[in-house]
Structure 1
Amino acid sequence: MEETTVDADVEAAPTADWNPRAADVQADQIAAYDGMRARCPVALGEQGNWAVFGHADNRRILNDPRTFSNVVSTHLTVPNGMDPPEHGPFRAIVDKYYTPWRMHAFEPACRAIASRLVAALPRQADVEVMADLAEPFANEVQCAFMGWPETLHGPLREWTRKNHAATLSMDRAAMSAIALEFDGYIREQLDLRRDRARLPSGGTPDATSELLAEEVGGRLLTDEEIVSIVRNWTVGELGTIAASVGSIAKFLADHPDIQADLRSRRHDGGLLARASDEILRLDAPLIANRRRTKASVEIGGRTIPAGERVVVLWASANRDERVFPDPDEFRLDRNPADNLLYGEGIHACPGAPLARLELSVLMQELLGATTSIELASNAPVRATYPSGGWNSVSVRIA
């Protein structure tokens, strides 16, 4: 038998450090990430992704798009799947839809939805927060923001369930079909607005119709670009806002003293926005975001080659003890600039003003219409990767 030789110039593939989809990780993602942050701050997963756990390392990634690219998908993703210089003109369009005056104008519609949904919750009976409040709130608010009809509420809720199931099972074929279904909803709304524009009245302007008139580089946006923008807004809204509401409701039920204090100060919308940021720092509604290395880079003591997938773990970075002393403690005096809930750098979430408005308004309505929120006998069920928050949270309100 010939002796096997190994070329000294060929490096062996690195060994995986962990499995982010392992049962013990999925049982409590937050606790698992806390452990990994101390043990292995940059870890190669069995699926081939490099997970980054520390706050400083994640902040470095977010602010270095030249090394860590946002172009991670073969599908057009406007603008968050673009790098400079292509990213800038598209991002400038998106930012116009989240200005302070737009948020002020949208607040009454948002409050009406929150008030109606909270009023409909049964008192002194178990309430399943995700199904009875969080999901319908996210759905109806997003439809109102886009100017979409109530007839889309049901289809979008069903679509969200199918998308969630396909994502969890990593069923690529189902995910593609579901994406096409959602794109069909958007294209139908675009066609309706084009038809209305031909009428003498011209129709009522809304965010969807305004996108049809947006230009980049001296030309109108294509339908494909508009669909991508709206998909990004809506898919993120439906999932992340619902997860945020669930986490906030559970936190309030778990902490009656904080609940009582916030109820007494509920008229301060700015305070409640800060409170929602801090609650979601503790329990992230969005677990992670992806990047791809453009060049070999050393980070957290590890060398990551070019072309590798990197996972920015918000759920870990926002609990880093070096930045957030006593990270499990709810504190409103922390530096808000350190909270990476809505990201940082050129790809920071453009919809953050809308999310803060929605969550502060919902907290105002929920705290104002109740005297207590307590956990019900059914134990909460955590969501699993890539989702954050809770699949089920049951409470009793009075």
Structure 2
Amino acid sequence: MNDRRQQDWDPRAEEVLSDQLAAYDRMRQRCPVAFSDYLQWSLFRHEDVMRVLDDHETFSNAASRHLSVPNAMDPPDHTYFRRIIEPYFATEPMAAFEPRCRAIAADVVDRLPEKGIVDAMTVLGQDFALEIQCAFMGWPESLHEPLRAWVQRQQAATLAGDREALGELALEFDGVIRQQLATRREPGEQAPDDVTTRLMNESVEGRPLSDEEIVSIMRNWTVGELGTISASIGILIGYLARHPELQERLRDDAGLLPAAIDEILRLDAPLMSNRRVATCPVEIGGRHLEAGERLTILWGAANRDEAVFEDPEVFRLDRNPDDNLLYGAGIHVCPGAPLARMELLHFMAALFEKTRWLSGTDGHPGTRARYPAGGYASLPVEVSC
């Protein structure tokens, strides 16, 4: 990379971090493919993002310094591992998990007070994300509180930009996963028949998965879900608290919820970015990239592109769902999208059933998360049950 490139913007500037989506909207107009030392090449337009997603030969996913299965892989390795992973999110296993998903959603919202102000991120988003993910993986309830403490420490380290602490936290989480592997190996054939045990017994191209590969897959499934599901819940609650007419409409017609959830999360991204690396010299958006230079796909910017979404800041249920990049696109589209959609649907249905109304609090609009997180760090909401 040419380290003498001119900086087009500063992703770490306070005006950017304090309102990421507004800053990205401005950049999409001013400099849609922008360079910075921090993110290298950032893409803000839907068209450019789709080009990168569709051309995985020129724009490689192998942009991580650590093993990331299959997120940071290209074909053919990516293809081999997707064949293992996709069946876990197919129609039959999702139907089998659905009753448990409903029960956990109902249990989380049942803990709400009859009336009062709660932090939606803590008592709803984080609780549900922790409990639903442990249940899906087959992990014990005794992990809920240790994982909650881990999430809080990770958020603090992310906000502080403490790379050393983040590295230590990553190793700590890998240790949690390895402990789950050990507790299943000890009883042998008597190990519980759950997602974790089944994944341990998978093979790829005629050989068993290595522990490193198993840990990587489980890390992606758990750490990613803990962040994005809780962020999604905060975004949904925050939006509906600010838009009472829509809240009333969805309470009256639950059939609109699936499309409404995707549209709200198009407006306000729970996952802010992903990375790619150029495999050869290439032009994109009028800018020249050298081989080896890195790109940052900004989902929150692409999903608000006025060239694709008419009146992009307006909630509409008649948009083409194929344009929404909430779960990505192309060969790297999120395999866990069916699980995430089911979880969010049942959570919102349970929340509407338990509560009569959700409203914002005067003078306390919530604290927005800062890059690389999306959504809210905290969100006070008044609940009436």
What is the TM-score with the length of structure 2 in the denominator?
0.97
Partner of 2:272: 287
The question of 1:332 aligning with 2:320 is answered no
Structure 1 pair 12–196 and aligned structure 2 pair: CA distance change class (3 A): closer
Partner of 2:245: 257
- Paired with 1:196 and 1:137, the residues of 2 have a C-alpha distance of 30
Q: 173, 177, 187: which is aligned to 1:196?
A: 187
Deviation at 1:48, TM superposition (A): 5.2
Query: Looking at CA atoms only, which structure, 1 or 2, has the larger radius of gyration?
Result: 1
* Unaligned runs of at least 5 residues, structure 1: 1-10
Deviation at 1:49, TM superposition (A): 1.1
Deviation at 1:14, TM superposition (A): 2.1
Q: 37, 60, 63: which is aligned to 1:69?
A: 60
- The letter for the 2-side match of 1:345 is G
Q: 144, 151, 157: which is aligned to 2:148?
A: 157
**Deviations, residues 311-364 of structure 1 (Å, cap 9, x unaligned):** 001000000001100111111110000000100111111110010000010110
- Paired with 2:75 and 2:239, the residues of 1 have a C-alpha distance of 39
Deviation at 1:43, TM superposition (A): 0.4
Deviation at 1:285, TM superposition (A): 0.5
**Deviations, residues 7-55 of structure 1 (Å, cap 9, x unaligned):** xxxx883201000110001111010000100111000013251100000
- Paired with 2:201 and 2:110, the residues of 1 have a C-alpha distance of 39
Partner of 2:382: 396
The question of 1:114 aligning with 2:108 is answered no
- Paired with 2:3 and 2:40, the residues of 1 have a C-alpha distance of 17
- Paired with 2:188 and 2:252, the residues of 1 have a C-alpha distance of 48
SS in 2 for 1:96: helix
Structure 1 pair 44–12 and aligned structure 2 pair: CA distance change class (3 A): closer
**Deviations, residues 111-150 of structure 1 (Å, cap 9, x unaligned):** 1111111111113210110011100100000000000000
- Paired with 2:157 and 2:74, the residues of 1 have a C-alpha distance of 28
Where in structure 2 are the equivalents of 1:301-320 lying within 5 Å? 301-320=286-305
Structure 1 pair 368–48 and aligned structure 2 pair: CA distance change class (3 A): closer
* Contact 2:134 2:141 survives alignment (8 Å): yes
Aligned residues: 382
The question of 1:208 aligning with 2:196 is answered yes
SS in 2 for 1:154: helix
- Paired with 1:300 and 1:148, the residues of 2 have a C-alpha distance of 45
Query: Which deviates more, 114-123 or 279-288?
Result: 114-123
Q: Percent sequence identity over matched residues?
A: 54
Partner of 1:240: 228
Partner of 1:366: 351
* Contact 1:17 1:46 survives alignment (8 Å): no
* Unaligned runs of at least 5 residues, structure 2: none
Structure 1 pair 12–31 and aligned structure 2 pair: CA distance change class (3 A): closer
Partner of 1:385: 371
- Paired with 2:217 and 2:3, the residues of 1 have a C-alpha distance of 41
Query: Which deviates more, 47-56 or 244-253?
Result: 47-56
- Paired with 1:273 and 1:57, the residues of 2 have a C-alpha distance of 27
Q: 248, 270, 273: which is aligned to 2:258?
A: 273
The question of 1:95 aligning with 2:80 is answered no
The question of 1:82 aligning with 2:73 is answered yes
Moved over 6 A (4+): none
What is the TM-score with the length of structure 1 in the denominator?
0.94
Structure 1 pair 256–12 and aligned structure 2 pair: CA distance change class (3 A): closer
* Contact 2:234 2:375 survives alignment (8 Å): yes
Deviation at 1:57, TM superposition (A): 0.4
Structure 1 pair 233–12 and aligned structure 2 pair: CA distance change class (3 A): closer
Partner of 2:135: 144
SS in 1 for 2:241: helix
* Contact 2:11 2:39 survives alignment (8 Å): no
Partner of 1:42: 33
- The letter for the 1-side match of 2:382 is R
Deviation at 1:296, TM superposition (A): 1.1
Partner of 1:355: 340
Deviation at 1:160, TM superposition (A): 1.1
- Paired with 2:342 and 2:69, the residues of 1 have a C-alpha distance of 24
The question of 1:170 aligning with 2:161 is answered yes
- The letter for the 1-side match of 2:231 is A
- The letter for the 2-side match of 1:336 is P
The question of 1:322 aligning with 2:307 is answered yes
- The letter for the 2-side match of 1:204 is P
SS in 2 for 1:125: strand
- Paired with 2:374 and 2:25, the residues of 1 have a C-alpha distance of 15
- The letter for the 2-side match of 1:227 is V
Partner of 1:6: none
- The letter for the 1-side match of 2:121 is M
